[in-house]
Structure 1
Amino acid sequence: MVNPDLHAFWQKTLSDWQESGVSGAAFCKQQSLSYHRFVYWRRKLNGSTNIKKALPSGFARAAPVPKGQAKDGLTVSLPGGVSITGLHAGNIELLGMVLRQL
């Protein structure tokens, strides 16, 4: 059973965080709160609704290519439908040069 005072405290804290516009980690540091406890209560009280959407992590989704559809070398698909195909150890520097221009 959850202590009603604790429940109310975290509801108010999460509301204050949402209004602050800062990350959860920064908010916890400012308020001297345990970030792990903050995350626990955020999930417990809000689930996946009513919380700010997380910023993109910077990671891209990778998926295997079914057998028979694989082409020689690596294929990189960029947003907007642009694909760079045929990359391998001999020309991988080309990918870096292209991505730096984007």
Structure 2
Amino acid sequence: MTTINKAQFWQDHVTAWQGSGLSQAAYCKQHEIKFHNFAYWRNRLSPAKAPSAKLLKLGGMPASSRMIMNLPLGVRLELSASDLPVVLPAVLQLLRESN
């Protein structure tokens, strides 16, 4: 079985399981497939999750300090630490709206 055929085989099973109302274990038992293979392909075929944002506590920084943020698509944002509380929420809002 080619990789494409395997992927389609497992995608069909994942789709059927989602509509079955059965637990994963019960579905696998009913269809005589190995649970660990099912779980592997279910994870492999699921959409990639976006990396979660990491929040850093910025305390005790002089207002004259410069912050550099590398954003998706090669965007680089450089601003003073004193501007961060105003600019960062606006940047985050724009990023949320672009998704």
TM-score range, shorter chain: 0.3 to 0.5
Structure with higher RCO (Cα < 8 A, 6+ apart): 2
TM-score (norm 1): 0.44
Q: Which has a greater percent of helix? A: 2
TM-score (norm 2): 0.45
